[in-house]
């Protein structure tokens, strides 16, 4: 078996593809979580805390500083990555040819000769 066929057999194994998809989706989802924390939750938590402490001059955080756009951008990016991965996996599964089922094993030559012998004995 050539190196190209060996690599193809390795790369298109179910476990390898599943692991690759998991790593890519995990990284994209990590960006969503980071954006949610940094762009939405943290500004909402810091702004009232700073105002309550009388520290309005320390930071210029305002309610409008919550950057929903960054969060939505991360979500849209995640969806785009998921769609592209779906299409790649769909193409990869089409490329995999199912292995033909082994032909049903017929009787061996010895078994056929034994049957013929038995039939001739019975006559």
pLDDT tens per residue across span 45-73: 776 655 665 555 445 545 556 778 888 99
Q: Vertex 59, ends 58 and 63: CA angle to 5°?
A: 140
Q: Is 29 helix (H, G, I), strand (E, B) or coil?
A: helix
Domain residues for the domain of 20 are: 3-122
- Residues of the chain with pLDDT > 70, as a percent, come to 80
User: Does pTM surpass 0.75?
Assistant: no
d(CA 6, CA 3): 5
Tell me the average pLDDT across 24-46: 89
d(CA 31, CA 40): 13
Phi/psi of residue 57, each to 5°? -80, -15
Q: Is 98 helix (H, G, I), strand (E, B) or coil?
A: coil
User: What total of structural domains would you count in the chain?
Assistant: 1
- Which distant-in-sequence residues (6+ apart) come within 8 Å of 44 by Cβ? 66
């Amino acid at each position: 078996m050539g190196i190209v066929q060996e690599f193809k057999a390795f790369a298109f194994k179910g476990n390898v593809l599943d692991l690759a998809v998991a790593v890519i989706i995990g990284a994209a989802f990590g960006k969503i979580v980071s954006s949610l924390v940094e762009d939405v939750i943290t500004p909402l938590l810091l702004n009232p805390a700073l105002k309550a402490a009388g520290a309005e001059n320390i930071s210029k955080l305002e309610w409008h500083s919550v950057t929903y756009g960054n969060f939505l951008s991360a979500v849209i990016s995640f969806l785009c990555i998921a769609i592209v991965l779906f299409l790649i996996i769909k193409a990869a599964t089409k490329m995999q040819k199912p292995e033909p089922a082994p032909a049903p094993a017929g009787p061996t030559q010895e078994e056929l000769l034994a049957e013929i012998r038995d039939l001739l004995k019975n006559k």
